[in-house]
Structure 1
Amino acid sequence: MEWQQAIKGFKSYLKLEKSMSANSIQAYSRDIDKLKQFSESQEVIIKPIAISLADLRRFLTWLSELGMLPTSQARILSGIKAFYKYLLMEDEIKIDPSELLESPKTRRKLPDTLSMLDIDNLINAIDLSKPDGARNKAILEVLYSCGLRVSELTELRISNLYLDIEFIKVVGKGSKERLVPIGGSATKALKIWLDEVRVHILIKKGEEDLVFLNRRGTRLSRVYIFMLIKDLAEVIGLKKKISPHTFRHSFATHLVEGGADLRAVQEMLGHESITTTEIYTHLDRDYLKSTIIQYHPRS
């Protein structure tokens, strides 16, 4: 089996069997393409089914010598493991060479968060006199109120809004659905956008059910959401480097800081593993440490 054939089959498997999004499939493909480049850089090109554990270890060394950070190496390794799991399942190989491969040791970076004041300032910086003002306010309110990924926001459907009972249905990674509560401020901003502004847009066929549209009646891009938040941060002079994901981090951190159950936060974020959610307990630890220092008789 040649590299192109193996990669093509792997992409079909991710799409049809794992129901992954186009962005995820593209990311996995890039990971395997790096391994393909490594194999082609050797004196004798190594076919995908001939790769050994020793080859994969040399591949990680190769990535490191290229200047790639351990976190990036670990992410690529995740894609490689999925690739060889696929080849094993297809009986193209008898032994998974990646099974005993250890990930590079990484330090888990705590995500940046916004304070409530930061969030208020960003939302208040939106010029509501402009045609897209109501929409942009609704975007930020929903990002923070529901902790959505940017792709979940751009794909949000009107048919999945249950504003009368204050819930929305979100289609996340792997087409997995979850119900997320939505707060009063976000509901109000959404209704203004939907009932007073969006109704006047000529919508392109096939996009009728999407919540957020541009002036041409087509879906918003992920890049637009990034640029919107970056521009608002500049307007208020916010020095933090923020993105749409920062609102998701802030949503989770503020919930945990307020005493929310981790399992409930896990459900709302759509995390498969509780360990992913546990990163948001960092502020709680700081609070507990200061409380112990202040009040414990033996401190």
Structure 2
Amino acid sequence: MQALIEEFGQYLRHERGQSEHTQKAYSNILNRFADWAATRQLARWNAVELSHLLGYLDHQRNSETPTGDHAKKKRGRPRSESAKLSTESLYLEIAALKAFYRFCVQEQFLPSNVAENLTLPRRWKRLPKALTAVEIEKLLRPPEPITPATLCDHAMLELCYASGLRLAELRGLRLEQLRLDAGFTQVIGKGNKERVVPVGRRAVEAIERYVEHGRGKLAKAGKSPSNVFLTSRGTAFAAVTLWARIKKRCSLAGIDRNITPHMLRHSFATHLLEHGADLRVIQELLGHSSIATTEVYTHVAGKRLKAIHQQYHPRG
């Protein structure tokens, strides 16, 4: 069973252009299913029927902890009785199984798609959380003390907020993609789609300062990649390391609330919309393939406008 999971992972990365994060998430789900199947004497994928998939999903929905050896290796706490598999997690489990079986039938590894009739649950649209303008000002104050690492952090934060980059896009950004003299940068987004986004004046200044005074001290001669942003060891950032750095900067800035990985990106979009930017322009800047994905920001901006109206209108 493992061989097909690995084959599917390669397909996701190299043919579908999915992110490493998506590939790992789907592979983890399939490995969990394989572990569960092994306890039912199901050693081959062609022995699996729809009833087995439903049984596995029911087990995952109601179990206190993830299933199998692969699950034990996962980071994080076990699920408690009060925290069963969420709708979002269940959606991902089913999506992974359906995508895997479509691939196997398409490539003629399996004769039929037993996951075809699995129904995806309705997903709740969570409203994105954005930082306030005051919090942004705190976060983007010039770094103290000035070191290569703090210059790097400051440049990353400025760019994220100025251009709405995903963290994966920030990690993967390379020197040759920067067009700072023109105020733009190329970005490789989801599905290896390329887009060009503007970079604001303050972000340009922060990046130039970092590249001139910080990056050279972080880079290891002949060993460091061409990624713009480097760790203290001269390597490209891992997702976990980058996220930890951003959380630390938020904490040092006195932002005392739960920070999410996409919060700067959400702030970028929300603040543009609040200041009158067209939704289609925001869609293009964010690299969304569908306007429906971008429309969620109208709800956030609408809630803020309602709050302002209630606070300041005499009959609010």
TM-score (norm 1): 0.87
Aligned AA for 2:15?
Answer: E
Structure 1 96/190 Cα, relative in aligned 2: closer, same or farther at 3 Å? same
Distance 1:204 1:172 in 2: 29
Q: 8 Å contact 1:125–1:235 — kept in the other structure?
A: no
- Please provide the CA RMSD for this pair: 2.6
Give matches, 1:43-122, under 5 Å.
44-45=41-42, 47-66=44-63, 67-122=84-139
Q: Which residue in the other structure is 1:216 paired with? A: 233
Give 1:207's aligned residue.
224
Q: Quote the offset at 1:223 in angstroms.
A: 2.5
Are the counterparts in 2 of residues 213 and 220 from structure 1 also a CA contact under 8 Å?
Answer: yes
User: Using the alignment, how far apart are the partners of 1:51 and 1:177 within structure 2?
Assistant: 39
CA distance in 1, matches of 2:131, 2:278: 21
CA distance in structure 1 between the partners assigned to 2:6 and 2:237 by the alignment: 29
Give 1:189-208 correspondences, 5 Å limit. 189-205=206-222, 207-208=224-225
Residue equivalent to 1:176: 193
Shift of 1:282: 1.6
- Please state how far the C-alpha of 1:293 moved relative to its aligned partner: 8.0
Residues in 2 aligned to 1:254 and 1:275: alpha-carbon distance in whole angstroms: 18
Query: Alpha-carbon deviations, 1:56-107, whole Å to 9, x = none?
Result: 2222211110221111111122211110110110123343222221123342
The residue type paired with residue 151 of structure 2 is A
Give the equivalent residue in structure 2 for 1:226: 243
Aligned residue number for residue 35 of structure 2: 37
Residue deviations 1:209-229 (CA, integer Å, cap 9, x gap): 221123433223322322222
Q: CA deviation at 1:202?
A: 4.5
2:268 is equivalent to residue 251 of structure 1: yes
* Aligned residue pair count: 294
One-letter amino acid matched to 1:40: A
How far apart in 2 are the matches of 1:49 and 1:252?
46
CA distance in 1: counterparts of 2:26 and 2:297, whole angstroms: 26
Could you list the per-position Cα deviations for residues 126-149 of structure 1 after superposition, in whole angstroms to 9, with x for gaps in the alignment?
Answer: 314333222211011011111111
Counterpart of 2:262 in 1: which secondary structure?
helix
SS in structure 2 opposite 1:180?
strand
CA distance in 2, matches of 1:38, 1:276: 35
| Normalised TM-score (structure 2) | 0.83
Corresponding residue for 2:81?
Answer: none
2:24 to 23, 26, 35: 26
Distance 1:292 1:129, change over 3 A: closer
Q: 1:115 to 1:174 in 2, by over 3 A?
A: same
Query: Are the structure 2 counterparts of residues 155 and 100 from structure 1 closer, same or farther at C-alpha, using a change threshold of 3 Å?
Result: same
- Whole-angstrom distance in 2 between the partners of 1:6 and 1:190: 43
What secondary structure is seen at the aligned counterpart in 2 of 1:135?
Answer: helix
1:225-254 per-position Cα deviation (integer Å, ceiling 9, x unaligned)? 222222233233322111442111111222
Percent pairwise identity: 34
Superposed displacement of residue 53, structure 1: 3.0
Gaps of at least 5 residues in structure 1 are none
**Conserved 8 A contact 1:114-1:247:** yes
Change (3 A) 1:288 1:133: closer
Deviation of 1:193 (Å): 0.9
* Cα pair 1:229 1:242 within 8 Å, conserved: no
CA distance in 2, matches of 1:291, 1:235: 29
Name the counterpart of 2:6. Answer: 8
CA shift in 2, pair 1:93/1:146, >3 Å = same
- The counterpart of 1:279, out of the listed 296, 300, 304, is 296
Kindly provide the amino acid, as one letter, of the partner of residue 214 in structure 1: T
Runs (4+) of structure 1 exceeding 4 A deviation are 287-294
1:265 aligned onto 2:269: no
Gap runs ≥5 in structure 2: 64-83
